[in-house]
Amino acid sequence: MTDDAKLHRMIARAIRAPSSHNSQPWLFRPTDEGIDLLADRTRALPVTDPEDRELTISCGCALFGLRVAAAAEGLGAAISPLPDGPGEERLAHLAFNGPAEPDLRDLASVIDMRQTWRKAFTDQAVDTDSLTTLQAATAREGAWLAPLETEETREAAAKLVAEGDAAQWADPRWRRELAQWMHPRRAGDGLTLPGLAIPIARMVVRRFDLGDGVAARDSDLADHSPLLAVLGSEGDSPADWLATGQALHHLLLLGVKAGLAASYLNQPIEVIHLRPRLQALAGKTGYPQILLRMGHAAMDHAPSPRRPVDDVVID
Ligand SMILES: Cc1cc2nc3c(=O)[nH]c(=O)nc-3n(C[C@H](O)[C@H](O)[C@H](O)COP(=O)(O)O)c2cc1C
């Protein structure tokens, strides 16, 4: 049994997790001996993410946040993934009677510091020790992290990102979905823009194919990232997506500890026919789930908003 203040603190930490379009597609249900994590599929992105793959990864990130929060409260965490089967709303049950994960306690202090960094990184390289640490954490969660290290693979990945951008921006349904998630900060979710810019930005995104400009910028970012790496998994089932989400949040928080920021270039995974080509570049068996860029950055923006804890807790 855990008191209300503890539960509130834990859920407040869990909801700092990253999620696609900052959609925060999660709900939490306290139980006698733990917490259920449920998918909120009313927050799905049917055009960008028709199978709820990224939605499940996002919830996996929140699940890892819960584990960190439990460790910070001195509680253990036994995870039962998909206790009702794949496709059901309950994605995991966390019971506090599980093994303690003392090393995760240390990550609680950086949960609030992690932010997606979409601009260029400094020239400072990502050292091999940090990369090894990130890869070990990823493996512990049941996923893999494959850095794209040669000039050839990086350039090929940058081209795939540009192709992905072109395909997404050419699709009016995809643009409409993106515009729907451009919100003022007070909304507590979505991709935040300054209030006055919202109507015009939404209109531009809905009506115009900005693909060429975005593709050029993104492929340049990919090409010039100190670390460009594919996060992937052996299988491509909801259980794999949930594990990938935990791996993602784990490596992002370890990255913050090592002074690293990250952002995403997932277009060649979201645009389904490009995914096998990224897979070939990663040189691993299994499925690419996230294309990450990482490096050093002087973080200078406000954290992205979240909905209040009370809005994501159900009985
Ligand atoms: C599964 C997943 C996919 C994401 N895809 C993208 C993406 O393609 N492009 C991007 O800029 N950000 C992407 N993000 C980052 C989210 O937009 C970001 O986490 C959210 O806006 C909250 O901001 P924060 O990470 O700074 O807390 C993704 C995040 C997750 C978890």
Residue 294 tokens read as 């990482």
Q: Which residue has the tokens 């515009």?
A: 179
Nearest to 16 by CA among 90, 107, 94, 92: 107
Q: Indicate the top mutation candidate among 264, 271, 304 to test ligand 1's pocket, ranked by most ligand atoms within 8 A of CB.
A: 264
Long-range CB contact pairs, 99-102, < 8 A, 24+ = 100/71, 100/74, 100/75, 100/76, 101/67, 101/70, 101/71, 101/76, 101/77, 102/71
Span(s) in the chain for CATH 3.40.109.30: 4-114
Q: Give tens-digit pLDDT for 157-182.
A: 999 999 999 999 999 999 999 999 99
Class of domain 128-170+209-295: alpha beta
Distance of CA 62 from the midpoint of ligand 1 (Å): 13
Instruction: Please determine, for residue 30, whether its predicted confidence score (pLDDT) is greater than 60.
Output: yes
Predicted local confidence at residue 195, as pLDDT? 66
- pLDDT band at residue 211 under the 50/70/90 scheme: confident
- pLDDT band at residue 2 under the 50/70/90 scheme: low
> What is the chain's mean pLDDT, rounded?
95
Distance of CA 200 from the midpoint of ligand 1 (Å): 22
Q: Give tens-digit pLDDT for 275-296.
A: 999 999 999 999 999 999 999 9
Instruction: Please determine, for residue 196, whether its predicted confidence score (pLDDT) is greater than 70.
Output: no
* CATH for the stretch 4-114: 3.40.109.30
Span(s) in the chain for CATH 3.40.109.10: 128-170+209-295
Q: How far apart are CA 293 and CA 161, in angstroms?
A: 12
Q: Give tens-digit pLDDT for 50-89.
A: 999 999 999 999 999 999 999 999 999 999 999 999 989 9
Instruction: Please determine, for residue 1, whether its predicted confidence score (pLDDT) is greater than 70.
Output: no
